[in-house]
Structure 1
């Protein structure tokens, strides 16, 4: 198990590094095919071990937001898709979906789901767009961001002529999802006169849409295709075909390739056909998407923590190339793990110049016969958005120079310890990259969310002000910061204000910020919800912890060891003394059968004046209710606010209890 955990940690750091390059900086360091291979490998290891480590990219559907754009919270989450890279994966997905449908029909014989049918669409390789229309008018456009919060790019999207500024549907609010792209023919024409030719259409579209100057966006002559309605406050569709027709009727540009099938065998045949014609389109695609067509079946299948169970992405095979391995450097992560990074002779793969490749760990180097490969030719593979991977040597001979494994930390010189296939520096109190990494993680968006903070800030504070622990941040003063290079009065005051604001935080975010080994956002949320007190959690035993959801022996031991560590205890004590106040959300109301909402299935529709629908949903769930998005015979209550649409109408037709008096709702919520 230890070897597997170390391999997972190495994989996670590599993936997250290249997610940052790709999504935040728009400077991908590796090919798409390589990313898929690394990501799939991590998914398989997590499934095998049953453990999701801190910072795992599988826990999130997304990445960091660029400063300079306003944040936009999506009304409905934008999901990532699980992947199938061959027919076996596709068959496994279908088998899981069919079993869930059969289970549902067994429980609901009076209203069974129809036989599975499918839609196949192109998977565009551009930038995901989420457009918000209110009463027929485009009021916001946003990037995908982390799936929950994106970047507002309305001015940029308005330059895309295929995006309608108004639509015929004016009855409510909808969010329409699609892909911003640059057609290949447009790219070719642009490069003929451009002072700096663009390398590929994907980066050209992403760079234009995330450029703060909309004139730059307009010059790229971008296009957009739309394929989904992620949110609506009144519309319902029977199936995917009906939804696509609605999009078409409302002047959205639809994919030129949408196919419907009644069997998974027909789907597989179609996938093979499209793979052979992928280069005939005037835009980039990196695969196809297979979805269950029936909307009621989609609702029944539901979602995992990361993906919808009713859809899967069929990804194209990775692209490979041959180049020369020039050197290997060793990088230190915040956990002390030492990761080898290979520099290769630059080679172009699918429009991206590859210079750096992952080697994972010393076990990977030996397994691939790369120990004597410096100066030799090697195979590299690039897939999707991740750093390319070296697959192995072109020849079997050991005809290159030896890759020498370090015995001392390349940063602090401390002796290294081999744990499984990984080398670790144990000097966690003085090793610069570890300390800077921990401080940067503590301040990150999913942790303490200290605005304006970056890894460059952490490095500067470490170097010039002696910041060695997250608690040191709260002791900094204006006089400390103003003397730093590139720190004016405004920047210094903004950072101090961000420190002060971060002191009021929720317990789950604080626990995640601490960087407890083997725990991620999901686990820290479980801990916060259960203990609702930092003191109680710090006193917890491993025997207590393993009784909680998704916490096994290894994670429990990591948590207990972390809070028993005198160094961590002192750091936490200093944070609390500085005024950091981690609090848990209000404990849920005790559920009982006398509560009018206990065990009821409830649908919220329309606008409430005293609270948002999300707030109302949380209060109802705390009282034991189940919140769903569509009205059916199984619905017990519909809460209807102002401008309630078709859901209210359907509830009236079915004779379902309706609460349309907000004062009545408040009285019931308050007991």
Structure 2
């Protein structure tokens, strides 16, 4: 038995060593076949002697048992976000603030800002015991089961010491391309970009899923290392590298801000050469004692700054212009492009907004154009390279009839609109809008399922959702007994929604969630709104003549009244208060801070007001709850001082869903 135990330990040590060579140093010492033989031998021995299996064995990287839910972990030292700069001038201003606040020479460490998922790793006696997401900076989620699968993370350190390190989980670009290719072959959808793929991978309940994803990590800092004292950040990184952690080799110590600026400019030009995504440069004061002097605000350390790259642009060709029809009938033109990689995502389409935008930019089919992501989210054409025209380009004008139903099109303001209320495309968009979170919140009714329901003739309008039958649903692709029952349960539950949600969900032009709430507050049921005239409607806060006319027009159309009739017969609530709407939060005042993962600010506010509560902009002694998202501001500190109850997003969801 001792011989077996010794062989297992020797195998583990050898595999760990080769993992370090391959995944950290990128210097493999043996072939893949030889590595596989070592791992197979270890797996065989551990299968025969399960009592010798340990949590930190290399064999455990394949993924252990799935978990039921993510546990919350409070960070002992908050993971603060970084203040951002976008120009040389802002970097110089940062340097001036630092120089004025400390005595002596200041040098900076500059590092590539990896576009991934921030993670905290805790070791005890040299063994990895816990890993957590950044979360809101104060509270993260336990992702230890998934982090163990990343081969560039040591499960055991050579030295048996306690420490916490922080790093950025990412997926290399070449492995990302392979991952998407594999998903397509398996009939799965592509990941939009490496960051989303990495974030989704570490938040899997089943670690076997994460183990199949090509996750990697760069460690960028440590909050404490048992028995070690360092004068500079660069010394600490060097020590972490000696311990076996993967540290980005592109870091540099700069003695003045102009050297920092040069580093930023160089990487702005050279970032395309990397095999991973970066979205900027991190600049940190190197001497740790100076960091102590500079301190931090509630949101950012004063000793660090992130330099953000300018919006990335790419040249490509407009192959065609396609038109989609929205729920209000608006025709939206989209440029079909030769695919290009932009900010880590393959882009093959870009919005052209409307006909006026096409004419203003003079976009033609066949043009070479410059595209960029607006706010790093929505690709759009920003420039036409007129000098590259060869006479083959074609001017474009939106069609005079609807491209979907061939119905009449009319120009309304800047938009061209299909006037056919029964246009299939409009119907599809109406159902999608009706089901979304801010409206009727029908969980499980995503866009693809709406398309299937319409394609298979199971629904013809949004009211038909309430007449679906399980025997029809189970015939749809990927809809078994359980998933179809879950959908029917969610549809049934939506019948109890408030009148304001229903009004918003109907998709009446110009009637947003705020107007819908005001209408529900001033009328006792939907019938009163249907019968209201222009004068009654414009008396409502936020309802002007344009909105009033839109409401009257909607309810004057027979097909819309038929939808209301079907909703009524199905038992959908048409009253200003539902049976279960008991004003659970009546009189309660909420304040929101930071970015929420599952709600926009408007959606969170709507959830509170639906239950009778109020959302205010600042924390005071009258505040009942502060809801904390990612990157909370000074409101968090003030709430603590005043004793205001602080809710995580999960706790907030529990309240509004109760």
Instruction: Report the CA distance between 1:499 and its aligned residue.
Output: 1.3
Q: Give the CA RMSD over aligned residues.
A: 6.5
Q: Is the 8 A contact 2:372 2:379 kept in 1?
A: no
Aligned residues: 495
Equivalent residue for 1:545?
Answer: 541
2:492 to 500, 504, 512: 500
Q: 1:225–1:254: 8 Å Cα contact kept in structure 2?
A: yes
Pick closer, same or farther for the CA change 1:413–1:638 going to 2, 3 Å.
closer
Matching residue of 1:575: 567
Does the CA contact (< 8 Å) of 1:211 and 1:217 recur in 2? yes
Q: Quick check: 2:319–2:338 contact (8 Å CA) kept in 1?
A: yes
Q: Which residue of 2 aligns with 1:159?
A: 149
Contact 1:357-1:389 within 8 A present in 2 as well:
yes
Determine which structure has more spread, i.e. the larger CA radius of gyration: 2
Structure 2 residue aligned with 1:425:
418
Q: Distance in 1 between matches of 2:518 and 2:217?
A: 43
Alpha-carbon distance between aligned partners in 1 of 2:121 and 2:360, rounded to the nearest angstrom: 50
Pairs within 5 Å for 1:556-571: 557-558=546-547, 561-562=550-551, 565-566=554-555, 571=563
Give 1:407 shift.
Answer: 0.5
Q: Is the 8 A contact 2:495 2:571 kept in 1?
A: yes
**583, 586, 590: which is aligned to 2:583?**
586
| Counterpart contact for 2:623–2:644, Cα < 8 Å | no
Counterpart of 2:170 in structure 1 is: 181
Instruction: Tell me the distance in 1 between the aligned counterparts of 2:219 and 2:525.
Output: 46
Q: Distance in 1 between matches of 2:549 and 2:91?
A: 42
Taking a change above 3 Å as real, the CA distance of residues 482 and 421 of structure 1, as seen in their structure-2 partners, is same
CA apart distance, 1:320? 1.9
CA–CA distance in structure 1, aligned partners of residues 457 and 379 of structure 2: 34
Cα separation, 1, equivalents of 2:118 and 2:298? 22
Give the equivalent residue in structure 2 for 1:374: 365
Residues 1:435 and 2:431 are matched in the alignment? no
Give the 3-state SS of the residue equivalent to 1:501 in structure 2: helix
Provide the residue aligned with 1:635 in structure 2: 641
Q: For residues 518-553 of structure 1, give each alpha carbon's deviation from its aligned partner in whole angstroms, at most 9, with x where no partner exists.
A: 5666x479759977976699577444424xxxxxx7
Measure the CA separation in 2 of the matches of 1:154 and 1:75.
11
State whether residues 542 and 560 of structure 1, in contact with CA within 8 Å, keep that contact through their aligned partners in structure 2. Answer: no
Q: Gapped runs of 5+ residues in structure 2? A: 1-65, 186-190, 223-232, 286-290, 592-607, 627-633, 648-658
Contact 1:588 1:622 in 2 (8 A): no
Match of 2:314 in 1: 320
Displacement of 1:410 in angstroms is 0.6
The CA deviation at 1:406 is 0.7
In 1, the alpha carbon distance for the partners of 2:138 and 2:427 equals 30
Instruction: Indicate the residue corresponding to 1:21 in structure 2.
Output: none
After TM superposition, give the deviation of residue 311 of structure 1 in Å. Answer: 8.4
Aligned partner of 2:470 in structure 1 is 478
Taking a change above 3 Å as real, the CA distance of residues 122 and 577 of structure 1, as seen in their structure-2 partners, is farther
**Match status 1:223 vs 2:213:** no
**Contact 1:73 / 1:148 at 8 angstroms: preserved in 2?**
no
* Match in the other structure for 1:341: 334
Map 1:141-540 → 2, pairs under 5 A: 155-161=145-151, 179-183=168-172, 205=198, 214=207, 217-218=210-211, 222-225=215-218, 271-272=264-265, 274-275=267-268, 278=271, 283-288=276-281, 297-298=297-298, 314-323=308-317, 325-347=318-340, 354-370=347-363, 373-381=364-372, 384-387=376-379, 389=381, 391-395=383-387, 399-428=392-421, 430-465=422-457, 467-482=459-474, 487-505=479-497, 509-510=501-502, 512-518=504-510, 523=514, 527=518, 538=529
Scaled by the length of structure 1, the TM-score of the pair is 0.53
Measure the CA separation in 1 of the matches of 2:281 and 2:246.
Answer: 18
When residues 477 and 585 of structure 1 are mapped into structure 2, their CA distance, relative to the original with a 3 A threshold, is same
Number of the residue aligned with 1:549: none
1:505 Cα deviation from its structure 2 partner = 3.6
Q: Check the 8 A contact 1:71/1:151 in 2, yes or no.
A: no
Query: Post-superposition shift, 1:69?
Result: 11
- Per-residue CA shift, 1:340-371, capped at 9, x if unaligned? 2233445566776544333332222222223x
- CA pair 393-216 structure 1, distance change in 2 beyond 3 A: same
Corresponding residue for 2:61? none
Q: For structure 1, which segment, 454-463 or 72-81, has the greater mean C-alpha deviation from structure 2 after superposition?
A: 72-81
Judged with a 3 Å threshold, the aligned counterparts in structure 2 of structure 1 residues 529 and 336 are, in CA distance, closer, same or farther, namely closer
Measured in 2, the distance between the counterparts of 1:228 and 1:533 equals 58
C-alpha deviation, 1:332, in angstroms: 1.3
What CA distance in whole angstroms lies between the structure 2 residues aligned with 1:465 and 1:584?
A: 34
For the 8 Å contact 1:320–1:382, the answer to whether it is kept is no
By how many angstroms is 1:510 displaced? 4.6
- TM-fit CA distance, 1:318: 1.6
Q: Distance in 2 between matches of 1:633 and 1:385?
A: 33
1:491 Cα offset (Å): 4.0
**Greater CA deviation, 570-579 or 207-216?**
207-216
Superimposed CA distance per residue, residues 201-226 of structure 1 (whole angstroms, 9 cap, x where no aligned partner): 65874686578975574465532346
Return the alpha-carbon distance in structure 2 between the equivalents of residues 163 and 328 of structure 1. 47
Separation (CA, whole Å) in 1 of partners of 2:512 and 2:138:
18
Deviation at 1:481, TM superposition (A): 3.6
Counterparts in 2 of 1:264 and 1:587: CA distance versus 1, 3 Å: farther
In 2 relative to 1, CA 69–216 (structure 1 residues): closer, same or farther, beyond 3 Å? closer
Output the CA distance in 1 between the equivalents of 2:637 and 2:139: 27
User: Could you say what secondary structure the match of 2:349 adopts?
Assistant: strand
Cα deviation 1:245-298 (Å, max 9, x = unaligned): 9xx899997877899999999986774465356467664202246899977633
Q: 2 CA distance for matches of 1:545 and 1:260?
A: 59
Superposition TM-score, scaled by structure 2 size: 0.54
Distance 1:73 1:422, change over 3 A: farther
Partners in 2 of 1:331 and 1:296 — Cα distance?
Answer: 49
- CA shift, 1:409, in A, is 0.3
Question: SS of the counterpart of 1:472?
Answer: helix
